[in-house]
Amino acid sequence: MELIESIPNVSEGRRPETVERLAAAIRSTPGVRLLDYSADPSHNRSVYTLAGAGPAVGQAILALFAEAVAAIDLRAHDGQHPRIGAVDVVPFVPLDGTTMEECVALSRSVGAEVAHRFRIPVFLYEASAASPERRRLEQIRRGGFEQLGARMADPAWAPDFGPAAPHPSAGAAVVGARPPLIAWNINLSSDRLDIARAIAATIRESGGGLPCVKAAGFRLAHRGLVQVSMNLTNYAVTPMAVVFEAVRREAERHGVAILDSEIIGLVPEAAVTDAAALGLARVGPGQILERRLEPGAGGA
């Protein structure tokens, strides 16, 4: 069966009952498997990974929106991670013979339905984007929810679907199709945010660093430390080991050490060859995408 993966990011990471209710909305959708989910209180964000046939995945995302819009008010939300929406970003990723074109078509149909059903502006990104300036998520999300209304007042930032102004409490959503990526955080044995930000600025592609690496520095108040938070958009071009060594080298230059690291969501098996060398306590079968997709593997 052809499969599509989706990894919606939701602006809630501090209320376990809400995080669980959103997971239940996905689980209750026929034909969809919830493979993984996790919440972070400092980021105040949850990440869900689900897979199934395209129409079923689309229905699960709509069910997720229904719960999130009812439960999350961005006017009272704060957290380290940038966001413009209650359901902030929804990527669709091709698996098992599904094409990128199929994911683009799904993203557009789901985006249009989200806008119609919930009166939320929807911006298309990555392979679904209608213009080059909207391909990159960080371009769309610049300024966050707080500046979203002012940005959307500019006709150049009219949404692809939905109203011309943000939803009062749910903001806007970014929906699109993209290749697989690895969401990876490296935690430092320091509470100095300036160091984490300096390391991120050095290693990310947009700053002249490593190809296919996006990075930012964040403070984890609940752990009393800072982290370099990254998206690796092509681990074959820049392997995880190369990224880890670059962060280690820059951290050492600033007089700090790497404490540990964590993968958010699932990771392709080929990307993780030596967990210990990447600062990971372990990478169990539950974190390997291919293993979670096997028949009988169960869900999260």
Angle, CA 232 vertex, CA 42 and CA 16 arms, to 5°:
30
Query: Rounded CA gap, 173 and 128, in Å?
Result: 14
Backbone dihedral region for residue 279 (phi beyond 0: left; psi -120 to 50: alpha; all else: beta): left
**Residue 257: how many other CB atoms lie within 10 Å:** 11
What gap in Å lies between CA 36 and CA 103, rounded to an integer?
20
Closest alpha carbon to 32 in 63, 9, 11: 63
Rounded Cα gap, residues 77 and 69, in angstroms: 13
| 222 in active site | no
Return the structure tokens found at 30. Answer: 């026929």
How many CB atoms are closer than 10 A to CB 75? 9
Active-site residue, from 43, 81, 167, 222: 81
Is residue 126 within 8 Å of 108, Cβ to Cβ? no
Residue of 211, 213, 216 whose CA lies nearest to 199: 216
Contact of 106 with 57, CB cutoff 8 Å = yes
CB neighbourhood size of 158 (10 A): 13
- Residues marked active site are found at 81
